[in-house]
Structure 1
């Protein structure tokens, strides 16, 4: 079957699309999250299966439970501690911070000497991470979801009517646990400090919904791939057994 253009040629079309007014990429470094022994049981909690919680409602000490030889990993989660894909749309909150007086405007000089007017856009990114600590014996301690946030300023072509479109393209979390010997000799180790470093890459765009007039061809479906049904196949029979040679003639 031949597929023909709806009108036989190009058409002038009016379409509604998001126009990109500006687009930048940037690496964002979240301020270092440093938690010490005072925070353990206050804002930082570890759950060590079989561990001893110092006080009711408190936190297990991963250093006391696992010893000083540990491996530390950090991964993004939601507010309940469920691991997430940080690159999935909406997995990490990324939104514009409203400014009471609107976006401030500034003049900037380009390399060729010309000037351009840009707007200041404040962007907030926030989420949660969980730290998991393990020892060579396979025992683990897992932290509660730890919140993080970072605010940045961008100077973009962002006139009134445009909105922020933010995409996280890379996410990296590193954690370092410091254990110190317990005050009592031979009593093992105790928690001293946990440092968490988060870096991410982002696409930041300013967009607006516009109507455009373009000249283009209508899209047409491609021909379907031919499909030939396979021949019917029957299992081989055993004619000497069934249905057999047939009944013998009956004498008249």
Structure 2
């Protein structure tokens, strides 16, 4: 791509970022015990034949060392998704406040006082828990487990801006506790939430119009030297 030498002012329409923050969010621990534990592991995904989840493992002679628990993000139907790749992996939206975004006075490190806005964001999604044996086979799988968290941010969010948020990191850990008198599944979720306040704007910039560059052609595969190099010092000079 090449540029002309003449500069001129142009008006372009683009999306402006008014503020941008990243926060690590630890979703409140989700615990399931007794009947709640049994309900999230349906028989078609965990063939227990009337046994409880812990009785099922005990009847198979499983010790805690014999199986592992894994947890991952899914859609509402239980299909595994990558939150970094799929921007629609989670529901992330602003919680509309009755009186709008409340103004907040903030003192900057420089000592200057500025007015920002309080923005509340709701994050919702689902995870699935799998119990895997020593051979890597899935022995039991849960139904999609919903989770949600509400976060409050202090941002530059004047009227007319909208929230855009996505997940840059997601981690889910689960542990199953089985004793003679107690059974419980604990699910912990940690995510990195990126929140931006944006608005469509028109701005004036000084620019030069560009045009396509000259194409660089791929080198030909056909040889150009048909004959080997000669030795003129030897032949036919002498």
Shorter-chain TM-score bucket reads 0.7 to 0.9
Offset at 1:63? 5.3
**In the alignment, which residue of structure 2 is the partner of 1:174?**
173
Unaligned stretches of 5+ residues in structure 1: 184-190, 232-252
Q: Aligned with 1:112: secondary structure? A: coil
Contact 1:29 1:200 in 2 (8 A): yes
Relative to its length, the structure with more helix (as a share) is: 2
CA distance in 1, matches of 2:11, 2:46: 66
- Structure 2 residue aligned with 1:218, among 209, 223, 233? 209
Quote the Cα distance in structure 2 between the aligned partners of 1:149 and 1:53. 32
Q: Distance in 1 between matches of 2:219 and 2:12?
A: 40
Cα offset, 1:129, TM superposition:
0.4
> Are positions 1:24 and 2:15 aligned together?
no
State the Cα distance separating 1:11 from its structure 2 match: 2.1
Deviations 1:59-84 (A, max 9, x none): 96265145232200001111111100
How far is the alpha carbon of 1:102 from its aligned partner?
Answer: 0.6
Residue by residue over 1:29-50, the C-alpha shift from the partner in whole angstroms, topping out at 9 and shown as x without a partner, is: 10100111120344x2245767
Q: Which stretch shifts more, 66-75 or 194-203?
A: 66-75
Q: Secondary structure, in 3 states, of the residue corresponding to 1:39?
A: helix
Q: Give TM-score, length-normalised by structure 1.
A: 0.77
Q: Distance in 2 between matches of 1:63 and 1:14?
A: 69
Moved over 3 A (4+): 46-50, 227-231
- C-alpha deviations, 1:173-225, integer Å up to 9, x for none? 000111124x7xxxxxxx70000000001211111111000001223323222
CA distance in 2, matches of 1:49, 1:81: 12
Unaligned runs of 5+ in 2: 223-238
Paired residue for 1:122? 120
Q: What TM-score does the superposition give when structure 2 sets the normalisation length? A: 0.82
Tell me which residue corresponds to 1:157.
156
Deviations 1:52-107 (A, max 9, x none): 342xxxx9626514523220000111111110011121111111111111111111
- Is the counterpart of residue 194 in structure 1 residue 185 in structure 2? yes
* Alignment partner, residue 232 of structure 2: none
- Distance in 2 (CA, whole Å) between partners of 1:228 and 1:112 is 58
Work out the CA distance in 1 between the residues paired with 2:83 and 2:43: 24
Contact 2:2 2:210 in 1 (8 A): no
Q: RMSD in angstroms over aligned alpha carbons? A: 2.4
Q: Which of the residues 47, 51, 56 maps onto 2:47?
A: 51
Q: CA deviation at 1:163?
A: 0.4
Distance in 2 of aligned mates of 1:226 and 1:195: 60
CA distance in 1, matches of 2:46, 2:147: 29
Between 1 and 2, higher relative CO (CA 8 Å, sep ≥ 6) is seen in 2
Structure ID, larger Rg: 1
User: In the alignment, does 2:197 pair up with 1:206?
Assistant: yes
Aligned CA distance change for structure 1 residues 53 and 40 (closer, same or farther; 3 Å): farther
Q: CA 1:114 to 1:175, structure 2 compared with 1: closer, same or farther past 3 Å?
A: same
